[in-house]
């Protein structure tokens, strides 16, 4: 059997429970075809890069599938018929990733950072511009900008 990563993008106006039902339907098709779904991830309601069927957002789901080719063809055939599915992509891979996908890993990292920031653990601006106040390194021996001789003076601006 072959290994596949399958991403499904569904309409934003359906509920996450309906997305889970669609994923369960895919899982049932795979198991009926003597395959198995190694991992299933719901990435959530995310912004699209461009509008698809007048939608600016969509629900994303990822499935790692170990199944024969005809099972994948059946899944894709059902996605073409289903009105809730905006897009789908199936990619054959050499091996399936056991760890969380980069989307989920980044989301977890952002959640941890947000939790840390809520309790005053750094991040954000601490006054004094983008570099954070008095943390700026000294200028050293560099002369002020107007005294530098490394470029000619600017001509006066005509208004």
The pLDDT value recorded for residue 100 is: 79
What are the pLDDT digits (tens) for 33-63? 999 999 999 999 999 999 999 999 999 999 9
Any bridge partners for residue 6, and if so which? 63, 90
Q: Name the pLDDT band for 122 (thresholds 50, 70, 90).
A: low
Tell me the residue ranges of DSSP E strands in the chain: 2-10, 36-52, 55-67, 85-93
Q: Is the pLDDT of residue 137 over 70?
A: no
Domains and CATH numbers, the chain: 2-106 (3.30.70.60)
The pLDDT value recorded for residue 7 is: 95
Which pair of structure tokens corresponds to residue 145? 């900008």
- Please check whether residue 74 is in contact with residue 33, taking contact to mean a CB–CB distance below 8 angstroms: yes
The pLDDT value recorded for residue 26 is: 95
pTM as predicted: 0.66
In whole angstroms, how large is the CA radius of gyration of the chain? Answer: 26
Which residue has better confidence, 147 or 58?
58
| Average pLDDT rounded to a whole number, residues 83-99 | 91
Which residue has better confidence, 131 or 41?
41
Kindly report the average pLDDT of the chain as a whole number. Answer: 83
| Average pLDDT rounded to a whole number, residues 15-28 | 94
Distance CA 113, CA 9 (A): 27
Any bridge partners for residue 52, and if so which? 55
């Amino acid at each position: 059997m072959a290994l596949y990563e399958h991403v499904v993008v569904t309409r934003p106006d359906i509920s996450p429970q309906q997305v889970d039902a669609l994923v369960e339907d895919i899982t049932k098709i795979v198991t009926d075809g003597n395959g198995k779904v190694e991992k299933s991830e719901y990435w959530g309601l995310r912004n699209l890069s461009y509008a698809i069927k007048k939608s600016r957002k969509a629900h994303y789901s990822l499935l790692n599938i170990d199944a024969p080719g005809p099972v994948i063809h059946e899944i894709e055939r059902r996605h073409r018929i289903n009105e809730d599915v905006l897009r789908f992509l199936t990619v054959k891979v050499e091996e399936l990733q056991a760890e969380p996908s980069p989307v989920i890993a980044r989301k977890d990292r952002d959640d941890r950072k947000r939790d840390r920031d809520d309790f005053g653990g750094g991040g954000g601006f601490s006054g004094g511009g983008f570099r954070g106040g008095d943390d700026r390194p000294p200028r050293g021996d560099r002369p002020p900008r107007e005294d530098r001789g490394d470029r000619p003076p600017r001509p006066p601006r005509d208004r």
